[in-house]
Chain A
Amino acid sequence: MITPTHYLLLSMALFTIGLAGVMTRRNIIIVFMSIELMLNAVNINLVAYSAQVQNLVGQVFAIFVIAVAAAEAAVGLGILLAFYRNKETVNIDEMNLMKW
């Protein structure tokens, strides 16, 4: 029997992997992708509990999360491209200026 706890553990593990990626990778694109993983971990929780309590609000929120993720990806990658054009790097450690 698969209980919500199983889903919770899964989502937790996924979140942790994403977090590890954010903290350890140097390529900002991979950092972005790790954030997407974390968002997905959240979504799994939302949907799992929505199924558990027979209430669709969880799914509605999952959709909002996806919308926000899309917006984040668009703007984030836009900033990244603008940055890359000026500094010719995607290394997150080299992004240490507030302005230039």
Chain B
Amino acid sequence: MAEAIAFYVLAACILGFAVLVVTAKNPVHSVVFLVLDFLCVAALYVTLGAEFVAAIQVLVYAGGIVVLYLFVVMLVNVKRPPEAFRAGGRHATLGLALAGAVLVEAAAIAVWSRLSPAAPASAAQTLPVSGNTEQVGWLLYTSYLVPFEVASMLLLVAMVGAIVLARKES
């Protein structure tokens, strides 16, 4: 019961904020809604028992990436928001049609998967540690060590790339 209430409230918030992100005229408002949206998603993770991912979601997404967005919006939005020039959206019809098609497709998959349920959940994984953080960490540093290192390389490259791109040519 409590789970259902939490889910529906959070789902409503997530979708509502997402719509506001996409429709807000002022990009700064979009960013604010995006933060709120991410916080709600983090709360959803908590209800799913994924505390570590929730904390990372808040720390990296809400506290890091979106701040970056806010900075860029404030830097480039000073004079000329693009939507102020031409009424209506870009490819409005095409875009919404495509989005609708994806929705239908995904819904079809969902319905189909419900009709023929997937294999029953495998037995719970047994890891030598307990606690969500420890378990995620264990997996990251054992089975998924190579992807982990690749991800860190990716971040390093992205960092260098961003600095090179954003630097003013002197």
Which A residues are within 8 Å of any B CB, using their own CB? Answer: 1-2, 5-6, 8-10, 12-27, 29-30, 32-34, 36-37, 40, 43-44, 47-48, 50-57, 59-60, 62-64, 66-75, 77-82, 84-85, 88-93
Interface size bracket, B side: 35 or more
**Knowing that A30-B21, A33-B31, A71-B158 are A-B contacts, what are 12 other residue pairs whose CB atoms are under 8 Å apart, sorted by A's residue number?**
A6-B7, A10-B15, A17-B18, A19-B95, A24-B95, A36-B34, A50-B48, A59-B52, A74-B162, A75-B161, A77-B166, A79-B165
Q: How far is the CA of A40 from the CA of B18 in the complex (A)?
A: 11
Q: Is the CB of B18 within 8 A of A37?
A: yes
Q: Is the CB of B3 within 8 A of A81?
A: no
The residue from A33, A60, A72, A81 contacting B165, defined by CB atoms under 8 A apart: A81
B48 to chain A, nearest CB (A): 4
- Residues of B81-97 at the interface with A, using a CB-CB cut-off of 8 Å, are 81-83, 85-86, 89-92, 94-96
State the majority secondary structure of interface residues on B. Answer: helix
The residue from B14, B61, B82 contacting A26, defined by CB atoms under 8 A apart: B82
The residue from B76, B106, B140, B161 contacting A63, defined by CB atoms under 8 A apart: B140
A81 to chain B, nearest CB (A): 5
List B contacts of A81 (CB < 8 A).
72, 75-76, 165-166
Residue of chain A at shortest CB distance from B161: A75
List A contacts of B41 (CB < 8 A).
40, 43-44
List A contacts of B110 (CB < 8 A).
5, 8-9, 12
List B contacts of A51 (CB < 8 A).
48-50
B130 to chain A, nearest CB (A): 12
Q: Is the CB of B99 within 8 A of A5?
A: no
The residue from B45, B68, B83, B144 contacting A74, defined by CB atoms under 8 A apart: B68
List B contacts of A75 (CB < 8 A).
158, 161-162, 165
A7 to chain B, nearest CB (A): 8
Q: Is the CB of B56 within 8 A of A66?
A: yes
Q: How far is the CA of A69 from the CA of B151 in the complex (A)?
A: 11
Can you name 11 A-B residue pairings with CB atoms under 8 Å? A16-B99, A23-B96, A26-B90, A36-B61, A47-B50, A56-B135, A57-B144, A67-B151, A67-B154, A71-B158, A92-B90
